[in-house]
Each structure stands twice: as structure tokens, then as C-alpha cells.
């Protein structure tokens, strides 16, 4: 079977950072035009979360491969620590949130599929109204930089603003 797609090759370190709460998030899938799976390379300093908060993907599975450092994951099955050389698989509909821990940055490859169903449902307490709700978000461009602005789905209060890289 022949494909009309072209081979793509990129240098991950040279890709722009996507808006996120970590030092770097390189959206490799977007750079090469992948349509069936998501593929991100993340560098998180200790204390930085991956990605936005406690969330699930109703019809999308995720896999986190820790290349270096350590990531503590809160899951709806309990807490897990994933270290260099280990993988955490997250089935569809299961909640999780990761935070880099330890003294060194964590480098992580995050893969998800199918890409068309990667919409996340965030379930966190709003600091303004106290309700555990999803987050609505929109893109905002200022001074040539795109940010994602997250707001509480219940009260509309802005709860986070994610910008690219350092």
C-alpha cells in the first residue's frame, strides 16, 4: 500500500515549546504531521506538573516513558512513582496527574492514541468557588506569545495561564 505522505525528520530540541506548565513541551506529532497518535517530549523541573492537572481522556490512552529523572503520578488507583527507564500506561477514562520530583529535571516521552479523541476532562477543585470542575480554556496571544488560559467551568474564574517554555 502506497502512501502520499512524505517522510518527515525534525530535531526535537529545535521545535518550539507549546504552552504548558513545564520547562519544555515539544509537540513532535504536530511538527511531523502525525494524525493517528500524539507524541510529546517534555522536560519538567522538580515540582512542575505534567500536563495541566488531574484529568482523564474518555476515549484515549496515554503512555508516559520517563527517560531521566522521576515523576510522581497521582492516579485514581493510588500514587505511583515512575523513574528513568520505566513506563506508566494510562487506559482510557482513568484519571491521573504527574509532577516531576527529586533533585533533577524529568525528561518524559508522552504518547497518546487515537489522536482525534485526546480531549481531556480536568477534575480539580476551583480555588475561587470550591467546586470540583472541569476547566474551559482558550488561546490568547500577547507580545507574539500564545498562552492557554484555563477557567473554572462552574464560576468562570481564571485558574491558570500556561505559556511556552522558560
Q: What domains appear along the chain, each with residue ranges and CATH number?
A: 12-164 (2.60.120.10)
State the alpha helices, DSSP H only, in the chain.
Answer: 28-32
Q: pLDDT below 70 — which residues of the chain?
A: 1-3, 166
Residue showing cell 496527574? 97
Q: Is the dihedral of CA 45, 96, 28, 159 positive or negative?
A: negative
Number of other residues whose CB lies within 10 A of the CB of residue 164: 15
Asked if residue 108 lies in contact with residue 65, where contact means CB atoms within 8 angstroms, the answer is yes
In this prediction, residue 37 carries a pLDDT of 96
Give residue 144's pLDDT. 83
Q: Looking up cell 485558574, which residue turns up?
A: 159
Compute the C-alpha angle 72/163/121, nearest 5°: 55
Q: Give pLDDT, residue 142.
A: 84
Q: How far is CA 46 from CA 18, 50, 63, 99, in A?
A: 19, 11, 20, 7
- Per-residue model confidence (pLDDT) at position 1: 62
Q: What is the pLDDT of residue 8?
A: 95
- CA 124 to CA 21: how far, in whole Å? 16
Three cell numbers written together for 11: 530535531
What is the per-residue pLDDT for 53? 84
Phi, psi values for residue 28, rounded to 5° = -65, -40
Q: CA 162: distance to chain centroid?
A: 11
Task: Please name which of 118, 110, 123, 137 lies closest in space to residue 58, comparing C-alpha atoms.
Answer: 118
Question: pTM for the full model?
Answer: 0.90
Amino acid at each position: 500500500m502506497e502512501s502520499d505522505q512524505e517522510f518527515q525528520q525534525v530535531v526535537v530540541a529545535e521545535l518550539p515549546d507549546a504552552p504548558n506548565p513545564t520547562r519544555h513541551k515539544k509537540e513532535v506529532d504536530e511538527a511531523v504531521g502525525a494524525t493517528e497518535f500524539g507524541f510529546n517530549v517534555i522536560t519538567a523541573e522538580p515540582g512542575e506538573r505534567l500536563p495541566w492537572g488531574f484529568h482523564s481522556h474518555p476515549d484515549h490512552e496515554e503512555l508516559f516513558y520517563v527517560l531521566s529523572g522521576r515523576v510522581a503520578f497521582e492516579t485514581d488507583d493510588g500514587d505511583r512513582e515512575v523513574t528513568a527507564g520505566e513506563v506508566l500506561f494510562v487506559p482510557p477514562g482513568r484519571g491521573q496527574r504527574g509532577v516531576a520530583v527529586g533533585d533533577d529535571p524529568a525528561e518524559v516521552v508522552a504518547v497518546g492514541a487515537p489522536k482525534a479523541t485526546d480531549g481531556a476532562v480536568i477534575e480539580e477543585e476551583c480555588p475561587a468557588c470550591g467546586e470540583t470542575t472541569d476547566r474551559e480554556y482558550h488561546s490568547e496571544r500577547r507580545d507574539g506569545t500564545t498562552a492557554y488560559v484555563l477557567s473554572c467551568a462552574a464560576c468562570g474564574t481564571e485558574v491558570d495561564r500556561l505559556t511556552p517554555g522558560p
